Amino acid sequence: MELRGYQREAVEAVYSFLRERDDNPCVVIPTGGGKTPVIATICRDAVNLWSGRVVILAHVKELLEQAADKLRAIAPDVPVGIYSAGLKRKDLNYAVTIAGIQSIYQRACDLGPVDLVIVDEAHLIPPDGEGMYRQFLADAKVVNPHARVVGLTATPFRMKTGTICAPDTILNEVCYEVGVRELIVQGFLCPLRTKAGAVKADTSGLHARGGEYIAGEVEDLMDTDALVEAACGELLEQTVMRRSVLIFCAGVRHGEHVARTLRERGVECGFVEGGTPARERDELVDRFKRGELKYLANVNVLTTGFDAPNVDCVALLRPTLSPGLYYQMVGRGFRLAPGKDDCLVLDFGGNVLRHGPVDAIRIKEPGAGDGEAPAKECPDCHAVIHAAYSVCPECGHEFPPPKREKHEATASSEGILSGQVSRSEERVGDVSYHVHYKRDDPDAPPTMRVEYRCGFNTWFREWVCFEHTGYARAKAEQWWRARSREPAPSSVEEAVELADAGALAPTLAITVERKAGEKYDRVVGHRLGDKPPRLDDPDNLPEYAHADAGINEEDIPF
């Protein structure tokens, strides 16, 4: 199996992090973007190149089975064991052990010394206390104090504590991240359309506990005859041309009500929840995946780890304050499938307006204010679109100009009219440099991709063309001279090598240009720190590692 470009970049970022630092990295890849091939590649290299032992931890059996299948495909010669009560396997003494955390968390010592612990769906690691992940990792460190942890997730945040990465947590920093919008544009994820329900519940009276709406209040709000009848009627109307509709409900009583109402209207609808017998659940899910069952409702079951590429409509019949849960529900429709042009998201809980468009979720850090609305609903067709649109792209409805107070404290950060340009300065927290090859044009010269991390895991990118000619090369030289006392490099690899060696001035802030209706923001200005002195000895520059070089203990990344 050949990795996609961004998957290979993720693997290399993990290796660089483990070599250069003493703490633990996290990789962020969207749902459907292929985290499992990244995990399998790291396992193969750890065993075959560095004679290491690896444990992969996950919390649902579907993720364990996916990891085992991918690892067998990528590295059929790597011995793989499975430790999971749900799969009726308790294998020990393997180079790679794929384990359910519920089954293994008290058995770390039984595994013997482990060099690398890979956690799939790493956002489920508890932020504090004596959770199962923490107990297992603590015991693994007793057996091997040098064990390292790598986390992978699509949602690197929690509702109450913000980012899952911090100096005092198990995972310390995101070493690589690729976004939903980027993978949609590249053709690796399915395009999405969003519509709000015509009849919506008023959530203003709901109370929150632990960063989420109180479950009983949500179910009472959503489980009324009028709302269920209206939602089911609209659901049937909107999904006439859809093949597989996954419905998220507010509770068991509500889910049964929804399924019953759809059946009364002449369509078959399955329903699964935590108490559904395993055989019944597996039968319904299998029929749904095969396309024999069009509608499947669930309560807190078919989110993380549920892989059904045929889903072309996701219906949210529940509100949530959790951006992670919102993402996981919508993410069930991200995957590509034959004959699937896009995925329709029907939102009856106001979630898109609350959290932002599904391809550009805005995550607020704890204590942050509400800020500007990231999305708005068209009153005619109920499409949920970016707040910058003045004309609905779905039906052509023209929005009235925004009302302005006489003296506003700050200007809007979004363009008001389609195509209008706005700019903002973003403080830079970190900068990384990469050799970038154009995916669809192997003959195109490489460029240096510069990635700026701004705020909470928000990244902006620009490309510097050292190996181009004419104007592009002149702009690259100008870019370099503004930051370095070294001569402008002749190749992209040399530029990245010099940048990583400290030849460039720090970037303190960037100016970002946004144009309403365009997919990408542009970096158009920079606020730089002082240029560093010349590098004294070129021989001190980092050397590229060669696959045929002898293995040195210091080269082993764990």
pLDDT digits (tens, 9 = 90+) for 10-31: 999 999 999 999 999 999 999 8
Distance in Å from the first CA to the final CA of the chain: 25
pLDDT class of 126 with cuts at 50, 70, 90: confident
Average pLDDT, stretch 429-456?
Answer: 83
pLDDT class of 549 with cuts at 50, 70, 90: very low
- Nearest-angstrom CA–CA distance, 203 and 478: 54
pLDDT class of 58 with cuts at 50, 70, 90: confident
Average pLDDT, stretch 36-41?
Answer: 90
Scored b (16 or more CB within 10 A) or e, 253-280 reads ebbbbbbebbeeeeeebbbbbeebeeee
Order the strands of the 295-298 sheet from edge to edge.
192-196, 343-347, 313-316, 245-248, 295-298, 269-272
Determine how β-strand 116-120 pairs with β-strand 96-100: unpaired
User: In the numeric block, which tokens belong to residue 409?
Assistant: 């404290």
Determine how β-strand 295-298 pairs with β-strand 375-377: unpaired
Q: What is the pLDDT of residue 410?
A: 30
Helix (H, G, I), strand (E, B) or coil at 156: coil
Element (H, E) at 132: helix 132-143
Is the CB of residue 451 less than 8 Å from the CB of residue 459? yes
Question: How many residues can be counted in the chain?
Answer: 558
pLDDT class of 197 with cuts at 50, 70, 90: confident
- Nearest-angstrom CA–CA distance, 322 and 299: 15
Is the CB of residue 26 less than 8 Å from the CB of residue 165? yes
pLDDT class of 381 with cuts at 50, 70, 90: low
pLDDT digits (tens, 9 = 90+) for 327-372: 889 989 999 999 999 999 999 988 888 887 655 555 554 444 444 4
Domains observed in the chain: 5-178 (3.40.50.300), 190-400 (3.40.50.300), 423-540 (no CATH)
Q: What is the pLDDT of residue 392?
A: 64
pLDDT digits (tens, 9 = 90+) for 141-158: 999 999 999 999 988 876
Q: What is the pLDDT of residue 266?
A: 95
Determine how β-strand 116-120 pairs with β-strand 148-153: parallel
Q: Provide DSSP, 264-308.
A: HTT--EEEE-TTS-HHHHHHHHHHHHHTS--EEEESSSSSTT---
For residue 327, which of 6, 29, 22 has the smallest C-alpha distance? 29
Average pLDDT, stretch 296-321?
Answer: 89
pLDDT class of 426 with cuts at 50, 70, 90: confident
